[in-house]
């Protein structure tokens, strides 16, 4: 279902854009958001089709891959769109689609990330991961699908809360990872304690020290 998935994705994106645009600003809105939806849908449809992300080749079963495609285009659509903007930025920066890693994984992998030290996952798009951190990143893919439109607000809210109210200082491992510089406050402190990272680091990876 490579090509089918790509075409379906482009059509669904366009339909969302037309409906949301029409609700917001009538015909003009439908044309503008429909056009944006079409462009983003072509981008994601191309990435999904050319890598076979939702097709055969990975470990997941055909019903699961169809289900993931449906979730990514309905309940988790806000995460998918956020991931597409992230994917677009990666491609503009000259990074490439990692088709081998994406195939059958129900996830779009990019070969590099902006930061060489970290992988980043937004929605179903994952940049810069290798096998030592892929399970961690796939936890984030799962979290987004589970919580749908709530996921990004819950993550952003936790970052904001832990930045201004560092409750994590109470249970942070100060001996192993001292917070002794301002830069470390965020990277060693806030970031690994935010709920989605705290969970993912329990599955795979070591928080930065």
CA torsion through residues 45, 47, 49, 54, sign: negative
By CB under 5 A, residue 155 contacts Zn ion: no
Q: How far is Cα 191 from Cα 166, in angstroms, rounded to an integer?
A: 11
Q: Helices (H), strands (E): how many in the chain?
A: 9, 3
Stretch that binds Zn ion, among 63-71, 162-170, 182-190, 191-199 (CB under 5 A): 191-199
Stretch that binds Zn ion, among 44-52, 65-73, 82-90, 190-198 (CB under 5 A): 190-198
Tell me the closest approach of the beta carbon of residue 140 to Zn ion, in angstroms. Answer: 6
Residue 9 or 134 having the CB closest to Zn ion: 134
Among positions 197, 206, 207, 208, the unique one binding Zn ion when judged by CB under 5 A: 197
Least Cα distance to 103 among 13, 1, 208, 207 occurs for 1
Q: Which residue is nearest to Zn ion (CB)?
A: 200
How many angstroms from the chain centroid is the CA of residue 171?
28
Residue 72 or 197 having the CB closest to Zn ion: 197
Residue 35 or 208 having the CB closest to Zn ion: 208
Residues forming beta bridges with residue 125, ordered by sequence position: 108, 122
Q: Measured in Å, how far apart are the chain's first and last C-alpha atoms?
A: 44
Among positions 40, 125, 133, 200, the unique one binding Zn ion when judged by CB under 5 A: 200
Which residue ranges make up the site for Zn ion (CB under 5 A)?
197, 200
């Amino acid at each position: 279902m490579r090509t089918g998935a790509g075409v379906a994705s482009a059509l669904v994106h366009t339909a969302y854009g037309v409906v949301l645009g029409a609700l917001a600003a009538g015909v003009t809105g439908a044309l503008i958001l429909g056009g944006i939806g079409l462009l983003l849908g072509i981008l994601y449809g191309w990435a999904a089709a050319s890598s076979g992300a939702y097709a055969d080749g990975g470990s997941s079963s055909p019903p699961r891959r169809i289900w993931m495609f449906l979730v990514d285009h309905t309940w988790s659509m806000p995460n998918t769109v956020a991931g597409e903007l992230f994917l677009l930025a990666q491609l503009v920066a000259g990074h490439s689609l990692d088709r081998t890693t994406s195939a059958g994984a129900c996830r779009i992998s990019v070969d590099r990330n902006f930061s060489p030290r970290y992988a980043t996952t937004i929605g179903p798009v994952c940049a810069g991961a290798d096998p030592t951190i892929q399970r961690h990143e796939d936890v984030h893919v799962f979290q987004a699908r589970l919580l749908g439109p709530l996921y990004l607000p819950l993550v952003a809210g936790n970052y904001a809360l832990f930045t201004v109210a560092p409750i994590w200082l109470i249970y942070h491992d100060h001996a192993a990872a001292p917070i002794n510089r301002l830069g470390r406050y965020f990277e060693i402190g806030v970031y690994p304690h935010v709920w989605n990272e705290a969970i993912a680091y329990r599955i795979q990876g070591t928080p930065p020290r």
